[in-house]
């Protein structure tokens, strides 16, 4: 499978998906750590891909989503953004609403 197809499939199959450096339990950069904390505070399950152990994904995802940096949060197939955007959404309460709606939609389908 082509790497772009693989990325598309990951995004389509996971309602809430975080591309990050490391894992939620062991983030490998401060930006990934802050993003994971904001996501975990929403209280819903999410999938993740460690771009450090997936160099093809790390090399190609920036072109796929037209977003140059990591982490990247994708919700229902849409790129939400990176650490700063996710942190701002968390502080405003917008992130919790988005994540809970997405998780609720997943439970219904």
Q: Is 58 annotated as a binding residue?
A: yes
Which residues make Cβ contacts (< 8 Å) with residue 41, sequence separation at least 6? 90, 96
Q: Is 21 annotated as a binding residue?
A: yes
CA-wise closest residue to 33 among 20, 17, 19: 20
Q: Is 83 annotated as a binding residue?
A: yes
Q: Is 50 annotated as a binding residue?
A: no
Report the C-alpha gap between 8 and 108 in whole angstroms.
23
Report the binding-site residues for glutathione: 21, 58, 70, 83-84
Report the binding-site residues for [2Fe-2S] cluster: 29
Report the binding-site residues: 21, 29, 58, 70, 83-84
């Amino acid at each position: 499978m082509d790497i772009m197809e693989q990325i598309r499939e990951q995004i389509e199959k996971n309602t809430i998906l975080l591309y990050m450096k490391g894992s939620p339990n062991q983030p490998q950069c401060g930006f990934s750590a802050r993003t994971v904390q904001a996501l975990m505070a929403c209280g819903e399950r999410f999938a993740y891909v460690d771009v450090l152990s997936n160099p093809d994904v790390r090399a190609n995802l920036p072109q796929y989503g037209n977003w140059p940096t990591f982490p990247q949060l994708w919700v229902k197939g849409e790129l939400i953004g990176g650490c700063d955007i996710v942190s701002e959404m968390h502080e405003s309460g917008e992130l919790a609403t988005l994540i809970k709606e997405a998780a609720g939609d997943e439970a219904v389908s």
